[in-house]
Every structure is written in C-alpha cells, then in structure tokens.
Chain A
Amino acid sequence: SQQGEEDPQALSIQEGENATMNCSYKTSINNLQWYRQNSGRGLVHLILIRSNEREKHSGRLRVTLDTSKKSSSLLITASRAADTASYFCAPWANAGKSTFGDGTTLTVKP
C-alpha cells in the first residue's frame, strides 16, 4: 500500500499569510489527493492531482506534484481562521489502497 507522510507535523501562522505543507511517498502513483479534517470530524476531499499533472489550483489552494522526487505540496494562500484543521495527503496506486500519515496540523491565528 501507499502511505503519505506529511511535513511539518504542525504549522502556526497569522491570518492572511500563506501556508505550505508537504507530502512524501515511496512508490509510483496514479494520483495523489489532499484532505482536510476539522477537529474529530470526517475528512473532506480538497483536491486530486494525477500523476501526469504538475500543478493544480482550486480557489485558494495550489497543489504541486513532483513524481521524480515523489513529493507533493499544498499551498493555502491568504489563510483564514476557518482553515485551521489537519491536512492529510493520500497517494493512490493501481493496487487500490492507500494509507494516511499523521497529517499536518495547521493553526491560523486571527
């Protein structure tokens, strides 16, 4: 199975600043997905980037994928207090199962 490892473990920024978190994985993938989880609730799918894509945008989110380095990054621009959450990456290969790392906990201070 694939496991994503998020970095840093925790990130604290001021409202309005940008937040960048990274994900590394070990083997070839079909796509990589980012999820957000607010305190003890279900995960919310944010964005999916396919292995043949290098960059993808969705609103204030920008995701990059470097398959040669087996890494991805999630950038949240102009952060808001409501962005406070844990963020997880999930790399997917044909085998069909993926596991999550322990996530990056983002705190956005008003």
Chain B
Amino acid sequence: DAGVTQSPTHLIKTRGQQVTLRCSPKSGHDTVSWYQQALGQGPQFIFQYYEEEERQRGNFPDRFSGHQFPNYSSELNVNALLLGDSALYLCASSPARVREQYFGPGTRLTVT
C-alpha cells in the first residue's frame, strides 16, 4: 500500500512565476491538507480539501489555491511567487472525520 506521494521532489522557480505541486493521498483517504514549512519552523496549515471542496483555510493569501480531483488527489497552485514562498510544502491525507494524518515526503520549493 503506497503512502502519500508528492511530486516533484524539488523545484526551483523565479520570482513572479507560477507553480503547481501534486499530491496523491494514501489509499482509502479522501481528505487532503497542505502545509508550508519554512526552515526551522513548524508546518503552517494552508488549506484542506474534502469531497473536492476547500473545507478549511489557514492565513494564506489568495495566491495560494488548490484543487481536489474525483480520485482524491490534489494540487497546490501558487501564483506570483515571492522569495518568501521558498519552503518545504507538505501534503497530508486522512480518512474523513479522523484526525490522524499521514504526510508525504514534501516538495522543496526554492524561489530565486
């Protein structure tokens, strides 16, 4: 049983560009959450998707958007990249209504 997978592993972008990160949840999980983790800090909640809708959102600007597909996989899109968006982006999945989350290995985004 594959766990949570994320792609790509690493990504380098230039300021002002747009990026799309992808996540496939663990088998049997239908809820996907995204987190941003800056170096030396804890993961910060971006948003959560369930039944293809954004259910919860953290304190992130509208430049951060997402999508969940019928197969429960998810994408995180970030527009107009800033240097401060450089971070490890983590995806976590869980069964609906159960809070135990399984995290993917993350995507390391560097904005230059």
Contact = CB atoms under 8 A, between A and B. Distances in A.
A44 B100 CA distance: 10
A41 B104 CA distance: 8
B22 to A, nearest CB: 15
A41 B105 contact: yes
B24 to A, nearest CB: 13
Interface stretch (A11-19, A59-67, A68-76, A90-98): A90-98
A96 B58 contact: no
Given A31-B99, A92-B99, A97-B58, A42 B90 contact: yes
B45 A98 contact: yes
A42 B90 CA distance: 7
Interface stretch (B35-43, B63-71, B77-85): B35-43
Contact of A102 (B40, B105, B106): B40
Given A42-B104, A45-B102, A102-B40, 8 more contacts: A1-B58, A42-B90, A45-B103, A90-B101, A95-B56, A97-B48, A98-B99, A99-B43
Interface of A: 1, 30-31, 33, 35, 40-45, 48, 88, 90, 92, 95-103
11 contacts: A40-B88, A42-B105, A43-B43, A45-B100, A96-B48, A96-B56, A97-B33, A97-B48, A97-B56, A99-B42, A100-B43
